[in-house]
Amino acid sequence: MVLVPRGYKVRPVKKMTHSPPRIVVLGSINLDLVIRCASIPRPGETLLAAAAAEVCGGKGANQAVAAARAGGSVTMIGRVGDDAFAGRLVANLERENIDCQWVRTTSQCASGLAIVSVAQTGENAITVVSGANARLSAADVAAAQDVIAAADVLLVQWEVPLDTVLAAMKIAHAAGVRIILDPAPTPKQRPAALFDAALFDVDLICPNESEAAALTGSAVETPEQIEAAAAALHHKGARQVAITVGRRGAMLWTGEKSAWVEPFSVTAVDTTAAGDAFAGALAVFWAEQDDLLEAVRFANAAGALAASRRGAQPSLGARGEIETLWKTKK
């Protein structure tokens, strides 16, 4: 049985009006300090690390790069601090041909920082300092209103203030712009029941299985549980749902039926940015082809490619690479 949310309406969205498609990404921009060590330090323990690297990251920036490499014309809306990392973070996006005119500088504030400890087993522990990301405001969104309204897709996550996300979604709704939500990170301290229902009023939500479990309060392990979680997220307001389940692929729920999208066979070495690769590639392909099922297949290929490489942004594939893998299942 299909659960239809109260007041649910099919929302008309405009067809793609630009080639390449215009993708606006609202989200976080971080500098990732990646530390490789034999094991994750326990409380009070000091370990010598094998190596360290500084890598540009943040879910918003990762997805912007993923969309640009997948063939989109991308604009980033975000904030950096006035520290030594800021110029590097913006320059990195600009090298990917991402429009950064709406990336603002926050005075007397550090840029977002993530400290990532990676063990030899692949296990990781991540500590994020939001920094300037927490200062991204509804006023910043209002300043970029025209670029959001002119987009084909607005891509958002939850690594910036939720009120800011809602402000951008409101503009997109009024302009008929398609909205894709990657609900990450899902705050553990804030039960799903307390989330503003408007946050789920999107054309597609694409959580992974752990995020879907947190948002629905139910186990998301078996195919039946995954389908039930997708139906529950649709009931919350999302018009369509794509739940990614790693090596098992993804479940797409359209509100009327579900479809299991098979994975691509790769040797996974680092899944850090696989979800970001999925979201960015999906936004571009869906805008181009208006075929959501095929867009999820294409996004699965992008996610698999990223998982087969080390690092976050360095692992994100170019359009030709994604197409080569995607066509193996055509």
pLDDT in tens, 216-263: 988 999 999 999 999 999 999 999 999 999 889 999 998 778 899 998
User: Looking at residue 315, what DSSP letter applies?
Assistant: G
Q: Is 152 a catalytic residue?
A: no
Q: How far is CA 3 from CA 104, 143, 191, in A?
A: 41, 37, 21
CA distance 131 to 189: 19
Sorting pLDDT into bands at 50, 70 and 90, what band is 189? low
- In a domain? residue 202: yes
Residue 30 and residue 58 in contact, taking contact as beta carbons nearer than 8 Å = yes
pLDDT, residue 121, reads 74
Is residue 156 in a domain? yes
Whether residue 16 is contained in a domain is answered as: no
CA-based nearest residue to 60, from 102, 15, 107, 108: 102
In a domain, residue 124? The reply is: no
> For position 3, what pLDDT does the model report?
40
Residue 146 in domain: yes
Number of domains in the chain: 1
Mean pLDDT, rounded, of the chain: 90
Report the pLDDT averaged over residues 172-196.
83
Q: Which of 32, 140, 276, 291 is catalytic?
A: 276
Contact between 174 and 146 under an 8 Å Cβ cutoff? The reply is no
DSSP track, 135-171 = G--HHHHHHTHHHHHT-SEEEE-SSS-HHHHHHHHHH
Note whether residue 6 is domain-resident: no
Q: 118 exposed, middle or buried (CB, 10 Å; 0-12, 13-18, 19+)?
A: buried
In this structure, are strands 51-57 and 30-37 parallel, antiparallel, or unpaired? antiparallel
Q: For residue 38, is it within any domain?
A: no
**DSSP letters spanning 260-284:** EEPPP----S--TTHHHHHHHHHHH
Residue 2 has pLDDT above 50, yes or no: no
**Cβ-count burial of 67 within 10 angstroms (0-12 exposed, 13-18 middle, 19+ buried)?**
buried
Report yes or no on 151 lying in a domain.
Answer: yes
Q: Band the pLDDT of 64: cuts 50, 70, 90.
A: very high
CATH number for 293: 3.40.1190.20
**Residue 132: which of 247, 1, 29, 17 has the closest Cα?**
29
Task: Note down the domain range covering 154.
Answer: 22-28+58-82+97-105+134-329
- Please determine, for residue 5, whether its predicted confidence score (pLDDT) is greater than 70: no
Residues 131, 160: contact at Cβ < 8 Å? no
The overall pTM is greater than 0.85: yes
The most confident of 35-39, 49-53, 102-106, 117-121, by mean pLDDT: 102-106
pLDDT attached to residue 117:
84
Q: How confident is the model at residue 122 (pLDDT cuts 50, 70, 90)?
A: low
Mean of pLDDT values over 45-57: 91
